[in-house]
Amino acid sequence: MLSRKRTIAAGVSILLLILCLMYRLADIQLISTKSFSKNNVNLIQESVNQRTHRFTINDGRGYFLDRNGELLSTDVKPQIVVFPNLYKKDWPIVTISEILQLPPQKIEEMIYQLKKPSALLLPAELTLQQMNRINELEIPGLYAQLVTRRKPLPFANHIIGAVGEDPDLIKQKYKDKLDKGTVSIATKTGKNGMQYTFDPFLISEGETQFIYHVDRQGNPLFGLDVKYRTQTNPLYPLHVKTTIDKKMQEAVERYLSIHQVEAGGAVLIDVETNELLAMASRPVFNSKTIYKHENKMTTHQIPGSIFKIVTAAAAIEENKVQNDKRYDCNVNIYGKQDERQLGMLNFEESFSRSCNKTFGDLANELVAENNNIIEEYAEKLGLLEFNGWRGQVYHFDNFSHFYQEEQGQIRNPNKKMQDYQSPLAISQTAIGQLDVRITPLAAANMMATIARGGTWSEVKAAKSVNFANGTELVEFKDHNGKKESLSPYTMMRLQSLLVNVVKDENGTGHALQSLPFQVAGKTGTAQKGEEANVYIKWFAGYFPADNPKFALVVVDMKHDTVNRTTSVYADIAKVVMEISDREE
């Protein structure tokens, strides 16, 4: 009896196992063919991929152009594409070698080394004439083609950003496209920078490829025909025309590297249009550190004496400046002897030589009448809000040109108001220390605002989004926020103060006197947290001072004994002016 029960149990177990295997097989073959397992694998597509040799000419993703129409995010190069399994001895190798000006054996050697469809690594760039002659031969498996490839990450690293696969993001943002089959979970999306913010316009609607089907042994399935597959909509891919000047961007990156700025960066703005011309942040990221190294130009930093511009503006506007009054600049805001013995200075001298005591005293005088006056003037100069372009674009209510831009702050929101009411706390705030934080982008925009005489507007990083044929899809109009928020007299005084920082032989920016044009600006040095020997060094300004064209901010967040900021600023400014003169 026991033996019979065991037999039945074993039989039932085997039957259940067979049923499970049958269900599993049915699931694979019939039920979950397009969404198998928790990873939603498309088994039909994967099966096709195993039997397909392909070469991608263009991934179908939209791209970025600079303000002059030059490619920023991609390179387009003429290349020879070879399907090695279609190579036959009757190929006209001699004719091909004559066109490419390479020995026949060298070409055969390159082909034999290929394991899959690839572009030949030629010693010289292919010309369009050579491309046409190759294609006239009509050789199966050999094609001359303009191939699009993404630029290496270091160029315009943080402002343009990177792309990569993110199945979760695809499911979250593009469920409708995923359901329609226009995208897959393997479609690349923007990870950061403008690649992320403009991703809805840039995401690929289909790749352009050479496709060739083979059997298990790699032999042709459908003869020697290689298919050419491309997007069905001729208006795609879209492209973004940015405001960036490629040559100026290259100059900014080059001099940050030459002067070994390890942490920090630079922002360059066109004063007249308030458009971003260049932005670079250090350290750059790679595919493994995309989320580790943020864009320091759009995240808030300790401004140090850059913030004295705000205190000066408040003092001028509120009639607290007495031209004949002198301040004891041998003493610091702590009431002790200062490291720099500057002597007795008036207001203008205090600004150009960056005396902390003067601006600490003025701030206390101002706050005695209005507790929020420093915050009010920081807001008038645009330091406490988003400075990058943002607004409604189609159904995107808060579309932004800048990825994860931060707003500035005067106080830490987690602290109490009374923490900022002591004379020392007021003085520290007045000179851009304590909990004051602004972004370098905001600082550059403030300089552009002062250079224009007071009109503030958001900084644009893109002019438009266009169809493939150049027709405009979206135009980004100027967003003017504050108009003449400070009196013309105050703006004129600020301009004069900024010029004197460089003109004054004892001014903190006097090193820029060697340039062939006048620079107006302000230096800033801020202690970085608790690290006593590590400072954030700034130079923010505009040039030429008598006819402002460019606002530039340079930040070195790992300043030690070497003053890099003015050297970087001088080199960038000089090249930018040269480029500008040539473009005009």
Q: Please name each of the domains of the chain with its CATH number.
A: 45-238 (3.90.1310), 246-286+296-583 (3.40.710.10)
Q: Which two tokens stand for residue 93?
A: 């190798």
For residue 120, the one-letter residue type is: L
Phi, psi of 510 (to 5 degrees): -60, -20
Name the DSSP letter for residue 513.
G
Instruction: Enter the tokens of residue 192.
Output: 């950061």
Half-sphere exposure of 488 (CA within 13 A, CB side): 0
Measured from the Cβ of residue 142, the count of other Cβ atoms closer than 10 Å reads: 21
pTM for this one?
0.87
Residue 393 corresponds to which tokens in the numbers above?
């674009």
Catalytic residue set: 305
pLDDT tens figures, 21-62:
777 776 656 666 555 565 555 544 544 445 566 788 888 899
Contact 210, 83 (CB under 8 A): yes
Q: What pLDDT was estimated at residue 46? A: 46
Amino acid, single-letter form, for residue 405:
E
88: DSSP letter: -
Tokens standing for residue 532: 């006593």
**Residues sharing a CB contact under 8 Å with residue 271, sequence separation 6 or more, in sequence order:** 448, 451, 452, 542, 548, 549, 550, 551
CA angle 526, 528, 530 (to 5 degrees): 130
Instruction: List the one residue out of 356, 330, 353, 361 whose CA is nearest residue 343.
Output: 330
Residue with tokens 């107006």, as numbered in its chain? 520
The Cβ of residue 105 has, within 10 Å, a number of other Cβ atoms equal to 10
Which residue positions in the chain have pLDDT lower than 70? 1-2, 26-53, 153, 214-225, 481-484, 528-533, 559, 561-562
3-class DSSP state of 281: strand
pLDDT of residue 39: 56
In our burial notation (b when 16+ CB lie closer than 10 A, e otherwise), range 321-342 reads eeeeeebebebbbeeeebeeeb
| CA dihedral for 477, 481, 483, 488, sign (positive or negative) | negative
Cα–Cα dist 108/110, whole Å: 5
pLDDT value, residue 48: 45
